[in-house]
Amino acid sequence: MKTFSKELRERFPEQVLSVEESVSGQVTVLLNNSDATAITRHFLTERQARLVTVFAEDRVKAEGVFYNYYVFDRLGDPSWVILKAPISKDHPSFPSLAAELPSVNWQEREIQDWFGLEAAGHPNPRRVALHDNWPDVHPLRKDFPLDTVLPAFEGERHVYRPTLGEGVFQIPVGPVHAGIIEPGHFNFAVAGEPILYLQLRMFYTHKGTEKLFENLPIPRAVFLAESISGDSAFSHGAAFCQAIERAAEIEVPQRAQFMRATLLELERIANHIGDAGAIANDVGFVIANAHAGRVRELVLGLNETLTGSRVLRGMVAIGGVRRDWQRDQIEAIEKTLAVVEREFRDLTAILQSSNSTRERLERTGILRPEKAAMLGVVGVAGRASGVDLDVRRDHPYEAYRHLPFRVPVYQAGDVRHRLQVRIDEVGESLRIIRAAVAQLPGGPHRAPRQPIPPGRCALSAVEGWRGEIIHWVRTGENNRLERCKVKDPSINNWPAIVETMEGNIVADFPVINKSFNLSYSGTDR
């Protein structure tokens, strides 16, 4: 983003302390902590940029300071600008952007919880990632050992916003839910059936993932990346490997790039089919879910043929993929996809044949485009609400430069259109895979293994089936990591569910929630 960074230097000559582009297309701009807000505001208002994520790093031992990083991109420009603001350990505080930019609300509070850096001026500075009963610790600081044994749990003290008024009630749900889903707490305020508002509480599955990344040798950390969000094992694994490859300047062989793209799209197809069934199921259309479950099994069977795992684990590796494909495996792709395509077409017809189903899905759980943009919603949920983002197109990686696809975007933002985006994307993914297989180059499937040099930073983005996945790494000595920041698309999208509640009834919450199908584990890490 030469022009972007040049613009920045011309506009803020005093504030920009240094500019670095160690990885091609990733410009890191050093500035003072106090200037971050003004420059961010400038980016957002005058440059039509998007704040992708904000995160922190403890460099106190190495450089005497903490850093906050603000990652930006803008439509039509494939590179990234990363603002890097040092924060003194004696004044561990940074100016909060949350009041004007709700998308950073949780992420700034994560920084407060995990690093002990105050988000000054945050409109709701309560803890988010560490629950209220935690002692005063900051686990991502370097002086906090991973295996610290904390004092015993002392019970719940979280206070939800009170619900007042005649006939107004609270319905607490979770963290253990009625279905087979992940844990989180939903606190509904209702007046009869209609929902007045919803309060969310997450991070029940926080398991120290980012800290653990700093404690594993890099080759083993690939398996940890696969366990960030189990339904996106390959996407997160690929995002992590790509970050390391960029940092260490490892060239991934062409063949591996096309293989990875194929597997990323298979992950998308399997999850979208599963979601189409689950959305139908949540409005009582059980037979459609049964067919979807059957079709999804065909894809999982193909996954197993291609990777040895139904859910694509143990395949992606630093420098490529672990196993090459033989001719019969490649032939299985087209054979299976032909059946999947036919069956999915029938499933779509069944889904659309039922007026009562359409009634339940249309105008249910509407996320308006302006709200979606304000909250930084990404992925399927964003594209159903006019947010035209797709990492595959906007920041091409792997083989996607050579593969044809459209990005479906709708404005309606209801459950029906979140389903429609999925239906369209299954078709696009089939096209991508067929093109990838047709072009699959020969040659090695993995770059020769090499030690990872220390002190390198790189950002990686992958369009997982749910949306934009970001990994940022700093490599360390002895083939280890100093820091691995993980951003699952869910962290942007959860607050959007709250916004869809207005005018809906409790009975529609399950299908609204399912139409987003966000990852709890990816959020909580």
Does an H or E element contain 245, and which?
helix 233-248
Task: Find the shortest distance in angstroms from Cβ 333 to other proteins.
Answer: 13
Site for other proteins in 247-286 (CB under 8 A): 274
The residue to which tokens 């002692």 are assigned: 135
Task: Find the shortest distance in angstroms from Cβ 406 to other proteins.
Answer: 28
One residue of 78, 194, 284, 308 binding other proteins per CB under 8 A: 308
Do you find a cis peptide bond into 175, omega within 30 degrees of 0? yes
Kindly state whether residue 204 participates in binding other proteins, applying the rule CB under 8 A. Answer: yes
One residue of 47, 89, 131, 368 binding other proteins per CB under 8 A: 131
Q: Which is nearer to other proteins, 155 or 442 (CB)?
A: 155
Among 241, 294, 292, 287, CA closest to 263: 241
Residue 375: count other Cβ atoms within 10 Å of its Cβ: 24
C-alpha–C-alpha distance, residues 177 and 200, integer Å? 14
One residue of 233, 259, 381, 459 binding other proteins per CB under 8 A: 233
C-alpha–C-alpha distance, residues 134 and 248, integer Å? 37
Amino acid at 89: K
Site for other proteins in 170-199 (CB under 8 A): 175-176, 178-183
Q: Which is nearer to other proteins, 131 or 142 (CB)?
A: 131
Task: Find the shortest distance in angstroms from Cβ 288 to other proteins.
Answer: 8
Kindly state whether residue 111 participates in binding other proteins, applying the rule CB under 8 A. Answer: no
Give the three-state DSSP class for 357. helix
C-alpha–C-alpha distance, residues 327 and 395, integer Å? 31
C-alpha–C-alpha distance, residues 176 and 174, integer Å? 4
One residue of 5, 15, 242, 521 binding other proteins per CB under 8 A: 521
Site for other proteins in 133-172 (CB under 8 A): 134, 137, 139, 144, 146-150, 153, 155-156
Q: Which is nearer to other proteins, 86 or 522 (CB)?
A: 522
Site for other proteins in 51-90 (CB under 8 A): none
Contact 374, 493 (CB under 8 A): no
Kindly state whether residue 219 participates in binding other proteins, applying the rule CB under 8 A. Answer: yes
Site for other proteins in 324-383 (CB under 8 A): 329, 346, 349-350, 353
Kindly state whether residue 450 participates in binding other proteins, applying the rule CB under 8 A. Answer: no
Buried b (16+ CB within 10 A) or exposed e, 279-311: bbbbbebeebbebbeebbebbbebbebbbeeeb
One residue of 42, 47, 313, 368 binding other proteins per CB under 8 A: 313
Kindly state whether residue 431 participates in binding other proteins, applying the rule CB under 8 A. Answer: no
One residue of 172, 301, 404, 455 binding other proteins per CB under 8 A: 301
Site for other proteins in 385-414 (CB under 8 A): none
One residue of 60, 311, 373, 407 binding other proteins per CB under 8 A: 311
DSSP 146: T
Q: Which is nearer to other proteins, 89 or 313 (CB)?
A: 313
Contact 395, 461 (CB under 8 A): yes
Residue 256: count other Cβ atoms within 10 Å of its Cβ: 26
Token pair recorded at residue 403: 């593969």
